[in-house]
Amino acid sequence: MKYRTYKVKKLFNGCVSVRNYVIYQCIREHRDLQIKFGKEYMIVPHEKLSKDLFQIHKSKFRSKYDGQTYELFDFLWQPNNNQGELFND
C-alpha cells in the first residue's frame, strides 16, 4: 500500500495534528501520509515528512490508553478531493 491513513477528529487554527510515531513510521517505510478529516483528505508526500515538520504545541503528551508519550506535528489543512489519486496504487 502506498499510503498510511491517519484520521483526525478536529482542526486547530486551520491545522491538523499527527502523532510523531505515525510520522516516523511513514519515514521508515517510505510511505506517504494520508490525513482524513470527515469526508475530506489530504496527502503529505514522504519527502515532505522528513523536512517540513513544525509544531504548534512543543509539549509531550501521554496517551490515556497505553501511557505512551508522544509529540504532535502539525500540517496546514489543505484537502485534496481528487478521488482518482486514491486508486493509483
- Closest by CA to 46, choosing from 19, 26, 74, 75, is 26
CA distance 8 to 88: 23
Tell me the per-residue pLDDT of 31-45, one tens digit each, with 9 for 90 and over.
999 999 999 999 999
Give me the mean pLDDT over the 16-37 stretch.
93
Q: Which domain holds residue 8?
A: 3-87
User: What three-state secondary structure class fits 5?
Assistant: strand
Q: How many domains does the chain have?
A: 1
C-beta neighbour count of 15 within 10 angstroms:
16
Tell me the per-residue pLDDT of 51-87, one tens digit each, with 9 for 90 and over.
877 778 788 999 888 888 999 999 999 998 654 444 4
If pLDDT is split at 50, 70 and 90, which confidence band does 2 have? Answer: confident
Give burial (CB, 10 Å; 0-12/13-18/19+) of 86. middle
- Closest by CA to 79, choosing from 34, 35, 41, 36, is 41
